[in-house]
Amino acid sequence: MDEITKLMIEQLRDAYSAEKQALRGMQKMMKAATNEKLRQGFQMHIEQTEAQIERVEQALEQLGGKPGRKVCEAMRGLIEEANHEMSDHDKGTMMDVVLIAAAQRVEHYEIAAYGTMATLAKSAGMQELGELLGQTLDEEKRMDAELTKLAESEVNMAWIEEARSEAEEMEGANENRRGGGRRKAS
Ligand code: FE
Ligand code: FE
Ligand code: FE
């Protein structure tokens, strides 16, 4: 087995582990999401991820490799961080913002991984492999763009409006307390 194939197999094993961890992470994220479109977005990408895992297996097979026991440390960290953040918040508009932040970090890591792998495969003349990885790369990019679109269209404003109105209510309550104090003094 040549060095190029060996390196591609290493990279694919990392991606295999990353996808498996991302899959479990997203299942948790979906349960924590309130916004219906966000839930659907996670659901859709969970299904895509299942197909992506199969694609990695297919790619490894093409190269004469197997998934192995490699653990993607970066994805482990990303998911661990996401889990901490999820346990810090209750379900609701703020949680949805937090979920998008965590999910986009995951997608960006995947975009980096598949972008690099697809380019390396094509550089080495492995056109078919490059295209297979390119399909996953496109799905990761689309998920990232979808999350941005959701943040812009509703999720961010839902939370910002709620946070502002809570702040105003708080202000109002303080105002009343101060007012009451003045009345007593006069
Ligand atoms: Fe993926
Ligand atoms: Fe990794
Ligand atoms: Fe993804």
CA of 176 to the centre of ligand 1 (A): 53
**What is the spatial distance between Cα 44 and Cα 7, in angstroms, rounded to a whole number?**
31
Look at residues 121, 138, 17 and name the one whose alpha carbon lies nearest to residue 69: 17
3-state secondary structure 13-60: HHHHHHHHHHHHHHHHHHHHCCCHHHHHHHHHHHHHHHHHHHHHHHHH
CA of 30 to the centre of ligand 1 (A): 15
Calculate the alpha carbon distances from 141 to 105, 108, 180 in Å: 12, 8, 56
For residues 29 and 92, the answer to whether their CB atoms sit within 8 Å is no
Q: Which residues are near ligand 2, the ion (C-beta closer than 5 Å)?
A: 14, 72, 74
For residues 129 and 59, the answer to whether their CB atoms sit within 8 Å is yes
CATH of domain 3-167: 1.20.1260.10
The predicted-structure confidence for 97-111, as pLDDT tens digits, reads as follows 999 999 999 999 999
Kindly state the average pLDDT of the residues 46-53.
98
pLDDT at residue 180 greater than cutoff 70: no
**What is the spatial distance between Cα 68 and Cα 170, in angstroms, rounded to a whole number?**
55
Q: What confidence score (pLDDT) does residue 176 get?
A: 87
CA of 145 to the centre of ligand 1 (A): 14
CA of 107 to the centre of ligand 2 (A): 12
The predicted-structure confidence for 137-155, as pLDDT tens digits, reads as follows 999 999 999 999 999 999 9
CA of 153 to the centre of ligand 1 (A): 24
Q: Is 171 exposed, middle or buried (0-12, 13-18, 19+ CB in 10 A)?
A: exposed
CA of 32 to the centre of ligand 3 (A): 18
The predicted-structure confidence for 1-26, as pLDDT tens digits, reads as follows 899 999 999 999 999 999 999 999 99
The predicted-structure confidence for 57-93, as pLDDT tens digits, reads as follows 999 999 999 998 999 999 999 999 999 999 999 999 9
Q: Which residues are near ligand 3, the ion (C-beta closer than 5 Å)?
A: 110, 140
pLDDT at residue 181 greater than cutoff 60: no
Coil, helix or strand for 159?
A: helix
Q: What confidence score (pLDDT) does residue 186 get?
A: 47
CA of 87 to the centre of ligand 2 (A): 24
Residue 98, φ and ψ in degrees, nearest 5: -60, -40
Kindly state the average pLDDT of the residues 157-168.
95
